[in-house]
């Protein structure tokens, strides 16, 4: 049995938007220093769950706690616990990368904000790009900058929505290396993905969402075994989905 602390506790969460059920009775825990993957097709509810954990929306039912703090209340302390990496590029087009990092550091009240930007740029290999605007750098470098910005304030938890979506294989590997580095530094990560390989390579446990419900929650090996020793995650999820439709 694991002795790690539960950092993210999601209990019985349901959520609807405009009369449509997005999530239904989802329960899962994420332990300290681990990577949990939310895997599922488009419309499964992955991004909605990330937004709920970040406190950007409230569930219709159930609770979400991060380090014991109620996400729905979104206190100042809670906001400092979370680093959010949304799917879309959120670097301000009118600012350079360095200016964007500096504005974020000042927003969070970091005393020596310029020094923090310098340290962050070195840590994430952004020093040569601080004077560049988003349109002047590659998609992979934008992703690196957004991840660096989210991690700069030393949050306990990082929430990453499709962190490598739209990147070519080489750039995807770079993002994966960043995620492993954050995990090895003791961060707790919850990420969404529709890439089976990404989930298998990065995530200690995987939550498979389909039509807003949690269909499987286990390690990659455990999910494959539950699906009749499937050769890979894709085959496992196809089998699990078929079994559900036939039940």
pLDDT digits (tens, 9 = 90+) for 166-207: 888 888 999 999 999 999 999 999 999 988 889 999 999 999
**Given this model, what pLDDT does residue 84 score?**
96
Mean per-residue pLDDT, 208-218: 94
Average pLDDT in the chain: 92
**Given this model, what pLDDT does residue 244 score?**
63
**Given this model, what pLDDT does residue 234 score?**
86
**Given this model, what pLDDT does residue 40 score?**
87
Residues in a beta bridge with 81: none
Q: pLDDT for 81-92, tens place per residue?
A: 999 999 888 899
DSSP H/E element including 189 = strand 188-193
**CB–CB of 4/29 below 8 Å?**
no
Q: Looking at the predicted structure, is the pLDDT value of residue 1 above 80?
A: no
In the numeric block, the tokens 């609807």 are attached to 16
Q: pLDDT for 18-48, tens place per residue?
A: 889 999 999 999 999 999 999 988 889 999 9
Residues in a beta bridge with 187: none
pTM of the model: 0.92
**Given this model, what pLDDT does residue 165 score?**
86
Q: Looking at the predicted structure, is the pLDDT value of residue 157 above 90?
A: yes
**Given this model, what pLDDT does residue 67 score?**
97
- Indicate the SS3 state at residue 77: helix
Mean per-residue pLDDT, 235-239: 85
**Given this model, what pLDDT does residue 89 score?**
84
**CB–CB of 153/110 below 8 Å?**
yes
**Domain 6-243 class in CATH:** alpha beta
In which band, very low, low, confident or very high, does the pLDDT at 2 lie, cut at 50, 70 and 90? low
Q: pLDDT for 44-62, tens place per residue?
A: 999 999 999 999 999 999 9
Measure the CA–CA gap between 163 and 46, rounded to whole angstroms. Answer: 13
**Rounded to a whole number, what is the distance in angstroms from the first to the last CA of the chain?**
32
**Given this model, what pLDDT does residue 186 score?**
94
Q: pLDDT for 122-151, tens place per residue?
A: 999 999 999 999 999 998 899 999 999 999
Measure the CA–CA gap between 204 and 235, rounded to whole angstroms. Answer: 19
């Amino acid at each position: 049995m694991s002795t790690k602390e539960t950092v993210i506790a999601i209990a019985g969460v349901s959520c609807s938007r405009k009369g449509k059920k997005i999530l239904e009775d989802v329960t899962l825990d994420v332990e300290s220093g681990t990577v949990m993957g939310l895997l599922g097709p488009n419309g499964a509810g992955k991004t909605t769950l990330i937004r709920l954990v970040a406190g950007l929306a409230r569930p219709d039912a159930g609770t979400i706690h991060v380090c014991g703090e109620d996400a729905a209340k979104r206190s100042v302390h809670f906001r400092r616990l979370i680093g959010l990496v949304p799917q879309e590029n959120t670097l301000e087009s009118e600012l350079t990368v360095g200016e964007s990092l500096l504005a974020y550091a000042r927003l969070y009240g970091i005393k020596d904000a310029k020094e923090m930007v310098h340290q962050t740029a070195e840590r994430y290999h952004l020093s040569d790009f601080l004077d560049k605007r988003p349109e002047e750098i590659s998609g992979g470098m934008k992703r690196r900058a957004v991840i660096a910005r989210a991690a700069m304030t030393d949050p306990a938890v990082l929430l990453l929505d499709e962190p490598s979506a739209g990147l070519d294989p080489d750039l995807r590997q770079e993002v994966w290396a960043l995620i492993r580095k954050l995990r090895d530094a003791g961060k707790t990560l919850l990420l969404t993905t529709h890439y089976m390989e990404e989930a298998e390579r990065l995530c200690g446990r995987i939550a498979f969402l389909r039509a807003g419900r949690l269909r499987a929650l286990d390690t990659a090996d455990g999910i494959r075994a539950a699906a009749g020793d499937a050769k890979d995650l894709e085959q496992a999820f196809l089998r699990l989905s078929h079994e559900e439709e036939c039940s």
